[in-house]
Amino acid sequence: ETGVTQTPRHLVMGMTNKKSLKCEQHLGHNAMYWYKQSAKKPLELMFVYNFKEQTENNSVPSRFSPECPNSSHLFLHLHTLQPEDSALYLCASSQGARVGLNEKLFFGSGTQLSVL
């Protein structure tokens, strides 16, 4: 139990589908993140929410739409994705948004997404 739960673990979708990824953290943290891990690439930060407010959008295409209804839940709504969007999508949380020596990211297990 990592304290950060992601569902579903695996998702296969067509390019015309609409789906959502869900993340829930049980750590009492205030900041939540979406990261994307593609094969042979670094983890890429997509979005940051701090106290439910979006504080960072790392030039992510609009076909990815995040939602943070409260500090414990984070969603990533997907629509009209492309095959190159196939990747592992990781949710993370931290107590504060300034990550460094005393502030760590806690990750969920990820959703492995395949877009056909």
Which residues here bind another protein, judged by CB under 8 A?
2, 4, 6, 9, 40-43, 45, 48, 56, 90, 92, 97-101, 103-110
- CB nearer to another protein: pick between 58 and 70: 58
Shortest gap between Cβ of 99 and another protein (angstroms)? 5
Q: How far apart are CA 66 and CA 26, in angstroms?
A: 19
Instruction: Say which residues have a Cβ less than 8 Å from residue 18's Cβ, sequence separation at least 6.
Output: 77, 78, 79
User: In this structure, are residues 7 and 112 in contact, taking their beta carbons and an 8 Å threshold?
Assistant: no
- CB nearer to another protein: pick between 16 and 101: 101
How far from the centroid of its chain's Cα atoms is residue 9's Cα? 12
Shortest gap between Cβ of 64 and another protein (angstroms)? 18
- CB nearer to another protein: pick between 103 and 114: 103
Token couple for 30:
């205030």
Shortest gap between Cβ of 61 and another protein (angstroms)? 19
